[in-house]
Amino acid sequence: MLKLSFAILALCVSSVFSTPVKKRALAAIYSSCIKDNDVALTFDDGPYIYEQDISDTLTQYGAKGTFFVNGDNWACIYDPDMASQVVHAYNAGHQFGSHTWQHQDLSTLSWDNVHDQMWRTEQALQKIIGVSPAFMRPPYGNYNDNVRAAAANRNQSLVLWDFDSGDSTGSSVSQSEQAYTNLLNTWPDNILPLNHETYETTAHDILPWLLQQLNDRGYNMVTLATCLGKSPYKKEGTTYQPSPRDNSWVCGSTNSK
Ligand SMILES: [Zn+2]
């Protein structure tokens, strides 16, 4: 009898401890392209005044790029000039991802505030170009499980990079070009470089030089989604349509949702 009690007790204890704890799903994190010979040029922190120039230079070289935009950082995404640059680049076939609303360090924010930073930028892209991004690049590359769970909840993957041009950390044009040259001389299979669309030198000096170098070496300059073999935008059974401008197209405290 005692033996049986122990057996029952053991069974109960083991069943309690073997009950799987329901884990939150965590978003996938990509930091490199998957396909050989692909280069996915990414441009963060816009939209800003050079976005249309970057889009046109990419197009001139037969290249596609990816813009990870904020809503309210260097400029407000709803400003008529900014919104029209986003439309221009989107219509040229470039990809848009989210860099969240105000470029805050998501790893320091609460669950609700992480969602708020994500949601506002997604809503802006839905209104301006009628898409909801499937990829989010966390500002500063900083994330934790809270951020990954929030992104998974929103059907998004996280994207980092495997090469930093240094444009946002003080590199001169020649230093950035030398860093790219050093990288290219190793003949990498593919590259996922971080650039920032907010620097004139990135838009007007480094980019045309880089595109020529990549062309000469036979790389395909593609969107992030293409180099990962994934869809660039969420498919939630909803087809978003760009909306006409209304009084919700503002940044700041009045843009409450
Ligand atoms: Zn950034």
Bigger pLDDT: 17 vs 101: 101
Q: Read off the pLDDT of residues 149-159 as tens digits, 9 standing for 90 and up.
A: 999 999 999 99
Centroid of ligand 1 to alpha carbon of 78 (angstroms): 18
CA distances 86 to 13, 54, 146, Å, are: 58, 11, 30
Q: What is the mean pLDDT of residues 102-122?
A: 98
Candidates 70, 99, 95, 214; CA nearest to 160 is: 99
Q: Can you read off the two tokens belonging to residue 209?
A: 């030089």
Tell me, what's the pLDDT at 22? 65
Number of Cβ atoms within 10 Å of the Cβ of 158: 21
Q: Which residue has the tokens 């053991």?
A: 10
- Band of residue 24 on the pLDDT scale cut at 50, 70, 90: confident
Report pLDDT digits (tens) over 61-75: 999 999 999 999 999
Give the model confidence (pLDDT) of 153-192 as tens digits.
999 999 999 999 999 999 999 999 999 999 999 999 999 9
Residue 245, pLDDT score:
94
How remote is the CA of residue 44 from the centroid of ligand 1, in Å? 5
Question: Residue 242's CB: how many other CB atoms inside 10 A?
Answer: 15
> 79 CA distance to ligand 1 centroid (A)?
19
- pLDDT > 70 in the chain, percent: 88
Q: How far is the CA of 38 from the centre of ligand 1 (A)?
A: 23
pLDDT band at 17 (very low <50, low <70, confident <90, very high): low
Higher per-residue confidence, 256 vs 180: 180
CA of 143 to the centre of ligand 1 (A): 13
C-alpha of residue 139 to centroid of ligand 1, in Å: 5
Mean pLDDT across 42-57:
98
- Domain 25-228: CATH superfamily is Glycoside hydrolase/deacetylase (3.20.20.370)
224 alpha carbon – ligand 1 mean position (Å): 16
Between the CA atoms of 244, 247, 253 and 257, what dihedral angle is there, to the nearest 10 degrees?
Answer: -50
Q: Give the pLDDT score at 257.
A: 38
